[in-house]
Structure 1
Amino acid sequence: MSDETTPSVAETYRRAGYEIPEHLGSAHDRHWPALGGPGDWLDGETRRRIIIETRNARNCELCRRRSEAVSPNAVPGNHDATTDLDPAMVDAVHRVSVDAKRLSRTFAEAAMAEMGPGPYVEMVGVVACTWLMDVFAWALGVDEPGVPERRPGEPVGEIPEGTGDVGAWVPQELEKVRANVTRALSYAPLTNGSWRGLVNEHYSRGEQFGHLVWDRALSRPQVELVAARTAALNECFY
């Protein structure tokens, strides 16, 4: 039996010949494994299965046919699920993963009626983190990071203090201290921490977001051009 341990995500990048910034590799090594542990509403195994279904949705025949239809609701059928997640969760994961631009309040409310607002919000966060990690790997030409190992423990299971109805699709922090996008997943603080932790290192860098001049490889205008073009191509008009 080999004594060699599984390399960290950042080490995988380095072995492929990429010397990515230390802050970025550290964020990946910290937040990706955390998704294998319990969150606020879901246990570690459920979160792992959401990652698996997020990736599986990219090759789902039902999702493909729905993407070609005027409305996804016009195409009935069953998803090509590879996990034993509840069918409502599978449908939500697949829809959020590959057809996010056509989500609606009606869809979100129906999904939350099935699983509850907490699990729905946490699921969205896990899907978002998975896409960030996978697209970064694709850009480098390396394999997607392996599904995080399961960590034992139970979800918190408590409504976060200071959250409620703010008129959005899901409950959020009642007090807005920054942009709405920073509190969108606040009903699942642990997952939101992973998501915001990754976003901060890839893009906003905390307080630097308020600065017009960034001392990075790309200037602030260049970064915003990439961000705006990427959003437009994905039909995200936030």
Structure 2
Amino acid sequence: MKKSVIQRQRPDIFESFDHFFEWLSAPGHWLSGAQRIDVAKATRAVADCPACKTISDALSPKSLDHQHQRVTGLPADVEVVIHRLISDQTRLTSVDISSLSDQFGADSAYAYVEILGVAVCQFSVDEFHRGLGLALPELPKPKEGRPDHYLPVHLETDTAWVPMIPTDQVSPAEQDLWPGNRGANVLRALSAAPDTVRAWQHLSETMYLSLQGMAEMIHAPNRILSRMQMELIAGRVSALNQCLY
């Protein structure tokens, strides 16, 4: 399928990709622009990594000593986590995240959240292109600057082993992340790095639905498919990917 055909039907999708790449190239909360681009490169490399397939099929990821395909200057432990986020995410544990401490020290949990957000967004963009037979878009050049090390006021680790904003303790600076006290865990999972939630939501609004649009159960706003048709496809894709949320 030609990109021009899709652009005529849904120009907003490609505009959201441009918005994502603009965000990706800039320094984040815990990663520089160059590091974020490297995370995107490592995410993209998983598709051609022989070790990922072998390890994901193994009974235990620790039972093999295969070397993942290296494509960046990121530390090996960081690239391994990125590869497993894409190919073996159901078996990641807090121990795997602690392996990032050599690079990020006491901030490794927060850095992991940002790495996760970048990887998820980049993988979504790439899979969209792969699914339609389109060439993968060129990654942007990184912008100068340092991470701001921003942390939300309230974070808890009672729900999972990544810090998250409690649904009922959202500070004014994060009021836009979810409506009222209805922050689902799929949103809260990235909330220790709030801008990653915003980047993910911006993509989700065009590739799926906005948070407000999810309340419409019959006719999805500005979509050719009905909501039921969309959910049938989403359910099938989730089943194939073993996304059991």
TM-score by length of 2: 0.84
Select the residue among 109, 129, 136 that pairs with 1:137. Answer: 129
Alignment of 1:171 onto 2:163: yes
Deviations 1:50-90 (A, max 9, x none): 11111112222322321221111110143221211012111
Q: Is the 8 A contact 1:35 1:48 kept in 2?
A: yes
Select the residue among 127, 130, 135 that pairs with 2:119. Answer: 127
Q: What is the aligned partner in structure 2 of residue 217 from structure 1?
A: 224
- Structure 1 residue ranges without an equivalent (≥5): 1-11
Q: What is the aligned partner in structure 2 of residue 25 from structure 1?
A: 14
**1:1-238 alignment, distance < 5 Å:** 13-14=3-4, 18-108=7-97, 110-111=98-99, 113-114=101-102, 115=104, 116-175=108-167, 177=181, 178-215=183-220, 216-238=223-245
CA 1:17/1:117 → structure 2, altered by over 3 Å: closer, same or farther?
closer
Alpha-carbon distance in 2 for matches of 1:58, 1:223? 26
Q: CA deviation at 1:205?
A: 1.7
- Structure 2 residue ranges without an equivalent (≥5): 169-180
Deviations 1:174-230 (A, max 9, x none): 225221111210111122211111112221222111121224211111111111111
The structure 1 segments of at least 4 consecutive aligned residues displaced by more than 4 Å after TM superposition are none
Tell me the amino acid that sits aligned with residue 232 of structure 1: A
Tell me the amino acid that sits aligned with residue 136 of structure 1: F
Q: Is the 8 A contact 2:78 2:100 kept in 1?
A: no
Q: CA deviation at 1:92?
A: 0.5
Q: Secondary structure, in 3 states, of the residue corresponding to 2:25?
A: coil
CA 1:17/1:123 → structure 2, altered by over 3 Å: closer, same or farther?
closer
Q: Percent identity?
A: 31
Q: Is the 8 A contact 2:163 2:192 kept in 1?
A: yes
Alpha-carbon distance in 2 for matches of 1:163, 1:200? 26
Q: CA deviation at 1:105?
A: 4.1
Aligned length in residues: 225
Alpha-carbon distance in 2 for matches of 1:193, 1:76? 37
Alpha-carbon distance in 2 for matches of 1:91, 1:80? 9
CA 1:101/1:222 → structure 2, altered by over 3 Å: closer, same or farther?
same
Deviations 1:89-112 (A, max 9, x none): 11101111222233234434x345
TM-score by length of 1: 0.87
Q: CA RMSD of the aligned region, Å? A: 1.9
Q: CA deviation at 1:22?
A: 3.1
Q: Is the 8 A contact 1:40 1:155 kept in 2?
A: yes
Q: What is the aligned partner in structure 1 of residue 177 from structure 2?
A: none
